[in-house]
Structures are given as structure tokens and as C-alpha cells.
Amino acid sequence: MILLKNNLFKLLILKIFYVLSINSSYAISGSEINKKLKSWLYEKKITSNPKFSENKVFKNCKTNIEFEKISKNFSLVKVFCPDTDGWKIYVRPNIVKSTNNKKKKTNNLQKVIILNKSLEKGDTITLASLKVELRNKQNSFFTNPNEILGRRLKQNLKKGKLLEPRHLFKRFDVNEGDQVIIVSNIGKAYVSSSGIAQKSGKIGDLLTVKNVRSGKVIKGYLKKNKKIQVFR
């Protein structure tokens, strides 16, 4: 009787081991799914820490387990077995770091010109007042200091301000308020005097200018070297 019981117990143990061995060869655990998902994301340069229940067991796949991105940032991934009698689950991989996102952010940066110090309305832009920095792409900006050197501000701007076309007066050969030389010919005589431009303009433009000595406002054509030619 005792011998029979021992034999039955041995058979039971053998059966249990057999069943376990069969199940282990035909099942995949949640822990294995986490590893495969982590590896799949790593190939895409994404570091993750999936925490799908490790104790859950799924029927093993005859083919390879596949993954499909559900959300744009990989915050939700579908894990599935493509077999005819396969299965599917949805896993949150807990993204730790994405190299792809960093590259996109870097690609959005470019060199722009900003003020290295605060300036007031009417101040002239010099090389010392400018600084080059990497910033997010802008619609209106300057990338070359030579584009704005010598131009004057339309308004007060603080240090670190990104310079845009709307902040600056157009580039003229003479700006309003500049000191100019009024020249005129009286017969064979050549007369010159100091004046102040009443508006901005380019060479060849008819400008209004105020004679510093007399205070008289006259008109003349702008020539080279900030000279205003007055015809009498």
C-alpha cells in the first residue's frame, strides 16, 4: 500500500514537471514583452522603462512579436502576435529620453542678431552693440551684422532683444537729424554752410534742410558726402 502511494506521488510530480515544461515552451511572460519592447524602442533611439505586468503570460508566437506606435510620442504602443490565433495588448513604455526629439529641437535653432546692450530711440547700431546667439527660428530676423550696421533704432530696446526689421529705420544716405553741408553756387562763387536734415533720404532725393546759422529752412538735392545742393 505504501509502495503504491509512493509510486502515485512520483507520477504526480513527473506530470507537474511535464506540464510546466510544456507551458514554458509555449508561453511568453510580461517580463519578456518588456524586454522586447525596450529593445524595439532603443533601435529608434528612444530610452524607455516599460512596466507591463511581469506575471502575465501569453501564448507564444510562431512568428516574431510585432510593435506599432499608437501615439506620436510613443507614449502608447500596441504589442501583438500576428499569428492567426494571435493576441494583442497595449503598453505604456514610460519614455525616459528620446534622441530624435533632441535633434528636432536642435534643427529649430539658428543664428540671430540680438542687442548686446540696451539702446534708445535714434541710437545708431554699431558692432559693439550686437551679439550673435542661437535661438528658435523666427519669421523676421537678421543673421548678418552687416545688414544693420549704421542703421538707427525707431524705439527703445533692452539688452538681449532680438532685432527685427520693424525696429529699425530704413538705410538712407542721410537720416533725419543728421548734420549736412549746404552748398550753392552764386555766380562763380561757391558757398557752403552747415545744416540739419529735416527728413531722411538717398542720394538724388530732394530734401528739406535747416540752415544752422540763419535758421532758414530750404530745399536741395542730396549729393555724395552728405552735401545738399541748393540752386538759387
* Binned average pLDDT, 10 residues per bin, the chain of 232 residues: 52 49 61 90 88 85 89 88 89 76 60 90 89 74 82 90 87 87 84 91 91 92 92 73
- Distance in angstroms (rounded) separating the CA atoms of residues 158 and 147: 20
**Same-domain check for residues 126 and 161:** yes
pLDDT at 25: 47
pLDDT at 180: 95
Query: Per-residue pLDDT tens for 7-28?
Result: 555 555 554 444 444 444 458 8
Whether residue 164 contacts residue 140, with contact meaning beta carbons closer than 8 Å, is answered with yes
Q: Which residues contact 171 (CB under 8 A, 6 or more apart)?
A: 150, 151
Q: What is the pTM of this model?
A: 0.38
Nearest to 52 by CA among 24, 29, 69: 29
pLDDT at 22: 40
Asked whether residue 58 is domain-assigned, the answer is: yes
pLDDT at 139: 64
Residue ending a domain, among 99, 121, 144, is 99
Helix-strand-coil split of the chain, %, nearest 5 = 25, 35, 40
Asked whether residue 46 is domain-assigned, the answer is: yes
What is the separation, in whole angstroms, between the first and last Cα of the chain?
Answer: 143
pLDDT at 124: 86
Asked whether residue 63 is domain-assigned, the answer is: yes
Position of cell 545688414?
A: 147
Query: Per-residue pLDDT tens for 181-225?
Result: 999 887 777 889 999 999 888 889 999 999 999 999 999 999 998
CATH number of the domain enclosing 187: 2.30.30.760
- If one counts the domains in the chain, the total is 3
- Distance in angstroms (rounded) separating the CA atoms of residues 227 and 191: 12
Position of cell 553741408?
A: 181
CATH number of the domain enclosing 161: 3.90.1210.10
Asked whether residue 172 is domain-assigned, the answer is: no
- Host domain of residue 51: 16-99
Asked whether residue 203 is domain-assigned, the answer is: yes
pLDDT at 54: 83
Q: Which residues contact 62 (CB under 8 A, 6 or more apart)?
A: 83
Asked whether residue 215 is domain-assigned, the answer is: yes
